[in-house]
């Protein structure tokens, strides 16, 4: 039993049809990797997501490791973005958006009826595909926009947060002399890093990034990747990316999402350490994808 469990946990992806006992799996959060210092920050148990009647994601089981970068890859439209949007309950914001299953943040149910999504989002921050700074706010105000929701703070404290988070987002040197200017005056890459700083200022446990570099040039992408390396010291990072090199470069774990037939919901096809996924994946589709044979 013990060994089986270890084996099961070491491969958080389970296909319920092959392994019926997966259904009875305990909902208690478990450290996914025995013997490693890392623990699960977030655990999804048979998580499904819907848009109205359409099932976009089916039975996702995953355990996201604390202070690690988890990359989610896969062809377009296979539910990667939907999945990260489930993690901080942004999915429900879309008309018809609905989540089933269990989602735990440090053992606490995130999707419970009595859990306020507002509270979840303070703990699980998100950076979007397109930079979306608030155009009416200055750079400074953009960074502390989320912080201000939590109540008044001393301006010295705020300045400190602004500098720290902008440094973490590798943007400080570029904007330190123009903090009072509009965030819209920045380049696309700078705007995205501003959005990262804004997310960090709230001090979440987990930072979700939905293809944060897809709309950016290579230099900006490089800067964001550099910033992420430092981020995992303090945060757990989940990043959706189209770019497999990026996933291979920066992530510790990689999840591959895949849709077998047109119209099926997306599934987490394989989840493992990044080195394993990119060198010797267990499933053929994963191998085809990471070697660039489709997608």
Partner 1 sequence: MSQLATTSARYRRRKLLDKAMTVMAYLCTLAAIVPLVLVLVYVAIKGLGAWSPQFFTGLPQLFGNGGGIYNAIIGTVIIVGLASLMGIPFGIMAGIYLAEYGNNHLGSLIRFTTDVMTGIPSIVVGIFAYGLLVVSMGGFNAFAGAFSLAILMVPIITRTTEEMIRLVPGSIREAALALGAPRWKTIVYVVVPTALGGIMTGILLSIARVAGETAPLILTILGSNFLNTRIFQGPVAALPLQIYDFSRSPYAGVIEAAWGASLVLVLMVLILSLAARLILARRGST
Partner 2 sequence: MLSSLTTRFALLKQLRRGNLGDVIFQLLALLFGLSILALVFGIVFETWAQSAPSRREFGWSFLWSTAFDPPNDSFGALPFIYGTIASSILAILIAGPIGIGIAAYLVEIAPRRLNQIVGFVVELLAAVPSIVFGLWGIIVLAPWLKNYIVPPLQAVLGWTPLFSGTFFGPSVFAAGIVLSIMILPTVAAISRDVLRAVPDAQREGMLALGATRWEMFSRAVLPYGKSGITGAVILGLGRAAGETMAVTLIIGNSPKIFTSLFDQGATMASIIANNFAESRGLFLSSLIEIGLMLFAVTFLINVGARLLVSLISRQPQGGIRA
Interacting residues toward partner 2 by CB under 8 A? 88, 90, 93-95, 118-122, 125-126, 128, 130, 132-137, 145-146, 149, 195, 198-199, 202
Give backbone dihedrals phi and psi of 83, rounded to 5 degrees, phi first. Answer: -65, -50
Alpha carbon 2 to its chain's center: 30
Residue 87 in the binding site for partner 1 (CB under 8 A)? no
Are 142 and 134 in contact by the 8 Å Cβ rule? The answer is yes
Residue 103 touches which of partner 2, partner 1, none (Cβ within 5-8 Å per kind) = none
| Number of residues located near partner 1, criterion CB under 8 A | 14
Task: Determine if residue 23 is left, alpha or beta; phi over 0 gives left, psi from -120 to 50 gives alpha, anything else beta.
Answer: alpha
DSSP assignment string, 40-97: EEEEEEEEEEEETTEEEEEEEEEEEETTSEEEEE-STTSSHHHHHHHHTT-GGGSTTE
Shortest Cβ distance from residue 115 to partner 1 (Å)? Answer: 5
110 in contact with partner 1 (CB under 8 A): yes
- Select from 27-35, 148-156, 210-218, 276-284 the region that touches partner 1 (CB under 8 A): 148-156
121 contacts which partner out of partner 1, partner 2, none, CB within 5 to 8 A by kind?
partner 2
Q: Does the CA dihedral 151-155-161-163 come out positive or negative? A: positive
Check binding of 1 to partner 1 (CB under 8 A): no
CA atoms within 13 A on the CB side of 73: 31
Rounded CA separation 240/247 (Å):
9
Q: For the chain, how many residues are written?
A: 295
- Letters for 187-226 (x = contact with partner 1 by CB under 8 A, - = none) are ------------------x---------------------
Does position 248 bind partner 1 by CB under 8 A?
A: no
CB distance 70 to 250 below 8 Å: no
Q: Does 120 bind partner 1 (CB under 8 A)?
A: yes
Q: Does 149 bind partner 1 (CB under 8 A)?
A: yes
- Segment near partner 1 (CB under 8 A), from 13-21, 115-123, 229-237, 247-255? 115-123
Task: For residue 89, state whether it binds partner 1 (rule: CB under 8 A).
Answer: no
Residues that bind partner 1 (CB under 8 A): 105-106, 108, 110, 115-116, 118-120, 123, 149-151, 205
């Amino acid at each position: 039993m013990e060994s089986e469990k270890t084996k099961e946990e070491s491969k958080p992806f389970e296909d319920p049809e092959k392994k019926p006992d997966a259904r009875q799996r305990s909902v208690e959060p478990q450290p996914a990797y025995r013997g490693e210092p890392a623990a699960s920050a977030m655990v999804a148990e048979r998580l499904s997501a819907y848009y109205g009647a359409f099932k976009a994601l089916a039975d996702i089981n995953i355990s996201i490791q604390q202070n690690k970068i988890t990359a989610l890859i896969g062809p377009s439209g296979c539910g990667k973005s939907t999945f990260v949007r489930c993690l901080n309950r942004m999915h429900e914001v879309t008309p018809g958006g609905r989540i089933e299953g269990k989602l735990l943040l440090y053992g606490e149910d995130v999707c419970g009826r009595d859990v306020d999504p507002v509270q979840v989002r303070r703990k699980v921050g998100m950076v979007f595909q397109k930079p979306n700074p608030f155009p009416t706010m200055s750079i400074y105000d953009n960074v502390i926009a989320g912080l201000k929701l939590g109540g008044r703070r001393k301006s010295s404290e705020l300045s400190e947060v602004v500098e720290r988070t902008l440094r973490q987002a590798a943007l400080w040197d570029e904007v330190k002399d123009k903090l009072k200017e509009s965030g819209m005056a920045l380049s696309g890459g700078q705007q995205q890093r501003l959005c990262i700083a804004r997310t960090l200022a709230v001090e979440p446990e987990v930072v979700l990034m939905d293809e944060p570099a897809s709309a950016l040039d290579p230099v900006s992408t490089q800067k964001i990747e550099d910033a992420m390396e430092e981020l995992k010291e303090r945060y757990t990072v989940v990043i959706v990316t189209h770019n497999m090199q990026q996933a291979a470069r920066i992530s510790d774990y990689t999840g591959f999402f895949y849709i077998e037939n047109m119209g099926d919901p997306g599934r987490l096809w394989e989840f493992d350490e990044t080195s394993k996924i990119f060198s010797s994946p267990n499933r053929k589709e994963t191998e085809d994808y990471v070697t660039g044979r489709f997608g």
